[in-house]
Amino acid sequence: MKKRLVAVVVVGVVLLSLVAGMVSVLSGPGGDLARGRGTGTVAVISITGTIVSGRAAPGIFSVQTGSEEVIARLRRAAEDPSVRAVVLRLNSPGGTASGAQEIAAEVDRLKAGGKKVVASMGDAAASGAYWIACRADRIVANPGTLTGSIGVIMQVQDMQSLYNKLGIATRTFKSGPHKDMGSPSRPVTPEEQQIFQGMVDDIYDQFLQTVAGGRKMDLERVKSLADGRVFTGRQARELGLVDELGNLQDAIRVAGRLAGLGDEPRVTDLSPRGLWSGMWGGTALSGWRWRPETQTAIWLLAPLCLPSGPGNNNIF
């Protein structure tokens, strides 16, 4: 009887939490966040969780931001004459290289159109998220923000011994010698290791060029910082990876000044809105969730956020 009562209470608490979360999300800000002086506005666009190319996959215990969602909002800001600047609120460990590249390219187009862009870092803005941030006119981070993680890592799993113990035999029919490259049912050959390393090196070079161009830093200087390590916001400022320390409101003030709107500009929320991201974003439940369709993606993630999943074959 007591166990049944406890179960009912637990279920009730969960249901109430879900309802409260839905109410919070559905009634959350979707237009003006605050009103300042003047007619121009600063638009805030949030990038939360793992960054992926295309549309984010829904998930109860994961938060993703798809490049299509962010690009749509960036273009909305570009087409709105009242939007004079955009603040990208980043709270992400990174994501796929292609997803970060697509958003970064749109940021470059927005700047080319005369809009100012400021990156505001929350808990984390590492790896692929830093790829995006470094294209902004200014970067504002909290002293305790985790950022940096400039680098690429690839992991493949050799599960042949496990398969043998389980009595699992794999027969592969392929059109070329490297079509099953990275398969967990066999070891990586020396030639394939060179191919994989070449992919890692190429993405790494692209990352270096992006940071050097965005931060206007010497390439060799960027290389000295790009060993994959994570920096705090304060360390990043001292190293030139971040411009100043502050929170979202400070970033909005910076954007207002850059756009000639003063210290208290009008602010409009253009963030992608999703039920689960609104409910779980920023919590311990918002980590990376493995999906079969992403197992061969090229990823850029902070070391502590490396995913694990059956048969993954990923670059981070």
Per-residue pLDDT reduced to its tens digit, 222-262: 999 999 999 999 999 999 999 999 999 999 999 999 999 99
Instruction: Assign 81 a pLDDT band (cuts: 50, 70, 90).
Output: very high
Give catalytic status of residue 179 as yes or no.
yes
List the structure tokens of 271.
């963030």
Q: Tell me how far the alpha carbon of residue 210 is from its chain's centroid.
A: 16
Residue 113 pLDDT greater than 90, yes or no: yes
Is 218:143 a contact under the CB 8 Å cutoff?
no
Q: What is the pLDDT of residue 143?
A: 97
> Higher pLDDT residue, 16 or 152?
152
| Residue 2: pLDDT band with limits 50, 70, 90 | low
Domain-located, residue 163: yes
**pLDDT over 60 at 11, yes or no:** no
**Minimum mean pLDDT range among 22-26, 54-58, 238-242:** 22-26
Active site residue 127: yes
What mean pLDDT, rounded, does the chain reach?
Answer: 81
Which carries the bigger pLDDT value, residue 309 or residue 140?
Answer: 140
Placement of tokens 């360390």 in the chain: 235
> Across the beta sheet with 50-52, what order do the strands follow?
64-66, 50-52, 94-96, 299-301
78, 123 contact by CB (below 8 A): no
CB 270 within 8 A of CB 77: yes
Residue 12 in any domain: the answer is no
**pLDDT band of 32, cuts 50, 70, 90:** very low
Could you give the 3-state DSSP secondary structure of residue 44?
Answer: strand
Q: Give the span between the Cα atoms of 159 and 189, in whole angstroms.
A: 15
pLDDT number for residue 155: 84
Classified as helix, coil or strand, 179 is coil
Q: Which of 127, 149, 183, 271 is catalytic?
A: 127
Q: Which domain holds residue 174?
A: 31-315
pLDDT band, residue 86 (cuts 50/70/90):
very high
298 DSSP 8-state letter: B
pLDDT value of residue 26: 40
How many domains, in total, are found in the chain? 1
| Residue 40 placed within a domain | yes
**What is the phi-psi region of residue 184: left when phi exceeds 0, alpha when psi lies from -120 to 50, beta otherwise?**
alpha
Q: Which one is predicted more confidently, 220 or 295? A: 220
* Inter-residue contact 57 to 99 (CB < 8 Å): no
Cβ–Cβ < 8 Å for 77, 111: no
The stretch 87-98 carries a mean pLDDT of 94
149 falls within a domain: yes
∠ CA 304-270-211 to the nearest 5 degrees? Answer: 45
CATH number of the domain where residue 196 is located: 3.90.226.10
Report for 36-50, 268-282, 284-298: range of highest mean pLDDT: 36-50
> Which residue has better confidence, 101 or 305?
101
Residues across the chain: 316
Task: Please check whether residue 80 lies inside any domain of the structure.
Answer: yes
pLDDT of residue 234: 98
- Given a cut of 90, is residue 219 above it in pLDDT? yes
Whether 142 is covered by a domain: the verdict is: yes
pTM (2 d.p.): 0.78
Indicate whether 18 belongs to any domain: no
- What is the spatial distance between Cα 31 and Cα 265, in angstroms, rounded to a whole number? 14
- Greatest Cα pair distance, the chain, in angstroms, is 72
pLDDT at 60: 57
Assess if residue 178 is contained within a domain.
yes
- Which is catalytic among the residues 174, 179, 224, 308? 179
Instruction: State residue 297's pLDDT score.
Output: 45
Q: Tell me the average pLDDT across 8-22.
A: 51
What the block records as the tokens of 184 is 């967990």
Percent of the chain with pLDDT over 70: 72
CA atoms of 265 and 87, how far apart (whole Å): 12
Strand 146-148 with 230-232, pairing = antiparallel
